[in-house]
Amino acid sequence: MRTPPPLLTCAAILAAMLPALGGCHLVAPSCTNEDSGLFHVAGEVAANSVASYTVTSTKNSNLRMRLAWPDPEATIRMAATVTACGEHAACVMDTRTPPFGPGGSAVPQPWPPGLRELQVDGTKGKTYRIEIGGDPVRDATFTLDVNTHIACER
> How does pLDDT run across 25-84, given as a tens digit for each residue?
445 557 888 888 999 999 999 999 999 999 999 999 999 999 999 999 999 999 999 999
For residue 131, what pLDDT band results from cuts at 50, 70 and 90?
A: very high
Query: Which pLDDT score is estimated for 65?
Result: 97
Q: Residues near 36 by Cβ (< 8 Å), separated by ≥ 6?
A: 147, 148
Percent of the chain residues past pLDDT 90, beyond the cut? 63
Listed in sequence order, the residues at least 6 apart from 3 whose beta carbon sits closer than 8 Å to its beta carbon are: none
Instruction: Render pLDDT for 107-125 as a digit per residue (tens, 0 to 9).
Output: 778 889 999 999 999 999 9
For β-strands 115-122 and 61-68, DSSP reports them as antiparallel
Whole-number CA gyration radius for the chain: 23
> What single-letter amino acid sits at 29?
P
Tell which wins on pLDDT, 143 or 22. 143
The pTM score is 0.76
Give the closest residue to 90 by CA, choosing from 115, 119, 123, 58.
Answer: 123
For the stretch 94-98, contacts whose Cβ atoms lie closer than 8 Å and that sit 24 or more positions apart, written own/partner, are 96/120, 98/67
**Which CATH fold topology does 34-100+113-150 show?**
Jelly Rolls (2.60.120)
